Amino acid sequence: MIRRATTLAARRIRSNCAAGAVLSTRSQYQAPSERRDGLPELLIGSARCYLSADAASRASPWADCPRAPPDPIIGLTEAYLKDDFPNKVNVGVGAYRDDEGKPFVLPVVREAEKDIISEELDHEYSGIAGSPNFVNLALKFAYGEDSVPLKENRVAGVQTLSGTGGLRVMGEMLRHALGHKEIYIPDPSWGNHTPIFKNSGLEVKKYSYYNNETSSLDFEQMIQDIRAIPEGSCILLHVCAHNPTGMDPDMEQWKEISQVVMERKLLPFFDCAYQGFASGDARKDAQSLRLFVNDGHKVALVQSFSKNMGLYGQRVGALSVVAESPEESERVVSQLKVRIRPNYSNPPRHGARIVERILSNEQKTNEFVEQCEGMAKRITQMRSKLKQTLEELGSTTDWSHITKQTGMFAYSGLSKEQVTALREKHHIYCTLDGRISMAGVTSKNVAYIANAIHDVTEGECI
């Protein structure tokens, strides 16, 4: 017990050692070499420190736990909340806000919640794969009611902890069930993709996607890079509203991507976080996925209902795989369940019930489509207004990419230095890569934001 306490005490040497020795790494201390009056002795460099049993017993087992760097998005919000400037603006967080800058709950979601609560349902566990009804409705929403693989019962699907949970489950599936060592993601991509896949045991590699100089899709280089990906590898693709750039391939480009992916025998893994939210039309937003399925790819797909239904905190998502046969589909589901069980055991029920209630009722589905379209239209209007205001201020920068992009984010093209100036001078908070959440832009603050951007890019504030 004394030896164990001594080891723990070494980690608190700054507070316990009268000799004042500084401990910077765990390797600097040695085990007790001798005893004086029954007290353990530690050697710290050339200094000796004698610890009482009482001091050793008070040492924290977490003393050597390093402070992790703050999450870039959460840290941004924390800095924003501490700012007491009255006109501060947060355009960093990817969550929809109404034109008053307030969180928005879809009316159809409120109605579905009331119906569910009135039925006084139980709170028993879901199965490992979640609600079968939810999964079926989610797959029809993405693949389409007339999807051939769905009709042939060869799409394996499970409910997940939103898109993030589905990405992690698929990452583990790739590494441990299929033997993949790498995954290829676009450059840039959502900031959480890399740590999710690394923590799944995969090496993350990138293919070209966006040209920062021209603020446009770097399609030719993208195709060249995909052609160079080793056969059989997994490639991550964004279904629509690419995060962070908001720049998607057009359908002719998607057809070429599909052809090259087929030639290289790659496994296409689609991340679908914005279906219906990008354009306001769920079918249009799913065109890339449905093209690949119609072309015969055995795709994997992760879905999130955070954005399009505003169910951020409910963590509602699905993960699916198009298989060759119903029997193969069953085997895939069994492997997905093996990954889920030791991870989070089973998914939550309330959010899935909301989605079920909406997508299983034609009237509620129509209401959802209309309300989702309303969110998409407001963001589109703010894109146009921001671009227009910058031009009216006399900006010599070409801001056309703001309106060419789609979805929640505008990849502004601002440098890190300009983003920092935007924050320090004007109290406007966006990520260091210049990504602006257009949901945080309102009719009341768009002029202020445009003035600030004009100031940090042109050196003028009007």
Q: For residue 310, report the phi and psi dihedrals to the nearest 5 degrees.
A: 65, 30
271 is catalytic: yes
Q: Are strands 216-217 and 234-238 parallel, antiparallel or unpaired?
A: unpaired
Q: How far apart are CA 287 and CA 283, in angstroms?
A: 7
Q: How far apart are CA 184 and CA 206, in angstroms?
A: 5
**Which residue of the set 254, 307, 433, 455 is catalytic?**
307
Joined together, the tokens standing for residue 278 give 């990008």
Q: For residue 369, report the phi and psi dihedrals to the nearest 5 degrees.
A: -60, -45
Grouping H, G, I as helix, E, B as strand and the rest as coil, residue 117 is helix
**Which residue of the set 271, 285, 433, 455 is catalytic?**
271
Q: What are the CA-CA distances from residue 238 to residues 97, 134, 202, 451 (Å)?
A: 23, 22, 19, 32
254 is catalytic: no
Using an 8 Å Cβ cutoff, are 199 and 172 in contact? no
434 Rama sector, left if φ>0, alpha if ψ -120 to 50, beta otherwise? left
E strands, 131-241, where? 155-161, 182-187, 203-208, 210-211, 216-217, 234-238
Cross-strand partners of 370: none
3-state secondary structure 51-94: CCHHHHHCCCCCCCCCCCCCCHHHHHHHHHHHCCCCCCEECCCC
Alpha helices, DSSP H, located in 286-348: 287-294, 326-340
Residue carrying structure tokens 């195709």? 223
As annotated, the active-site residues are 190, 271, 307
